[in-house]
Amino acid sequence: MSGKLVIGNWKMNTRADSAQALVSALLDHAATNREGVGIAAPAVYLAALAESLKGSRLALSAQDVSRFAADGAYTGETSAAMLADIGCRYVLVGHSERRQYFGEDNAALLQKMRNAIAAGVTPVLCVGETLEQREAGQHLEVIAAQLAILPELTDGDYVIAYEPVWAIGTGKVATLEQIAEIHAFIKNWCLQNIGSSDKIRVLYGGSVKAENAEAILATENVDGALVGGASLDADSFRVVCQAAGKLI
């Protein structure tokens, strides 16, 4: 495993013009136009952005994928094969917003992981506890339950992102101790339940921005960052990517 991975999750933001402008700004800089940096753009813009990214090293990512693998009567869905077809290298799976607003459960998420891996798109499984769960002392148990689908995957690479729900879009960042504790827990869980943790990258997400990126990315067992709000501003995202680039 070499270098840190930073993915900007644009969520349901941008328009065709602003998405292209953001990508142009990222392509203009060596800190963002490189291996180990990606953007997760809205599905409707992926194909156009894939054209703009041709020949660059910036990785295109989707924010979600269908749990159905084969073509067919699944109105509104985007399959893993379609994402692969236009050159997506990553796809977010089970982001807390999808779990919360779209009721995604482990059974659906396992299918999504399988489909992405089979299509050659690396899934990024997002896990994390709510504030209530943390206050009730259930955070480790909740995360273990979300990781429980991983032993079902017999082959293929994936990435895990720890995103405490209470730190997403709130400006509240988990402390470095909390981040270190959960990342060590996830790596250890993988070692115990999958037999290896060496090749599994664990990203942190939740109010990562220019000001805190270096400290978070330098924390033990943090292999990169999933960046929401700050990824919509090219300058802020560049600073996060620069911090990641310094820490190999």
Piece in contact with ligand 13P (CB under 6 A), picked from 46-54, 178-186, 188-196, 220-228: 220-228
Among 229, 234, 237, 238, the residue binding ligand 13P under the rule CB under 6 A is 229
Q: Which is nearer to ligand 13P, 83 or 226 (CB)?
A: 226
Give the DSSP letter of residue 220.
T
- CB neighbours (10 Å) of residue 208? 29
Dihedral (C-alpha) 99, 105, 107, 109: value to the nearest 10 degrees?
Answer: 10
Q: Which is nearer to ligand 13P, 81 or 95 (CB)?
A: 95
The reply to whether 97 belongs to the active site is no
The reply to whether 139 belongs to the active site is no
Indicate which residue of 95, 97, 104, 129 is catalytic: 95
Can you say which residues are annotated as belonging to the binding site for substrate?
Answer: 9-11, 169, 207, 228-229
In the block, residue with structure tokens 């109010």:
207
Q: Is 169 in the site for ligand 13P (CB under 6 A)?
A: yes
- When computed from its CA atoms, the radius of gyration of the chain, rounded to whole angstroms, is 17
Closest approach of Cβ 160 to ligand 13P, in Å?
13
Per DSSP, helices labelled H in 9-92 are 16-27, 43-53, 80-85
Piece in contact with ligand 13P (CB under 6 A), picked from 81-89, 188-196, 206-214, 233-241: 206-214
Q: Which of 6, 63, 61 has its CA nearest to residue 32?
A: 6
248, HSE (Cβ side, Cα atoms, 13 Å)? 4
Closest approach of Cβ 206 to ligand 13P, in Å?
5
CB 158 within 8 A of CB 200: yes
In this chain, which residue has its C-beta nearest to ligand 13P? 228
Q: Which of 159, 62, 42, 65 has its CA nearest to residue 111?
A: 65
Q: Which of 77, 109, 73, 69 has its CA nearest to residue 93?
A: 109
Among 4, 5, 9, 213, the residue binding ligand 13P under the rule CB under 6 A is 9
Q: Is 63 in the site for ligand 13P (CB under 6 A)?
A: no
Q: Is 205 in the site for ligand 13P (CB under 6 A)?
A: yes
CB 223 within 8 A of CB 216: no
Closest approach of Cβ 96 to ligand 13P, in Å?
7
Q: Is 151 in the site for ligand 13P (CB under 6 A)?
A: no
Dihedral (C-alpha) 125, 131, 136, 139: value to the nearest 10 degrees?
Answer: 20
Q: Is 36 in the site for ligand 13P (CB under 6 A)?
A: no
Among 26, 208, 217, 234, the residue binding ligand 13P under the rule CB under 6 A is 208
Pair of tokens at residue 232: 């919509």
Q: Is 115 in the site for ligand 13P (CB under 6 A)?
A: no
Where do contacts with ligand 13P occur on this chain (CB under 6 A)? 9, 95, 163, 168-169, 205-208, 226-230
Which residues are identified as catalytic?
95, 163
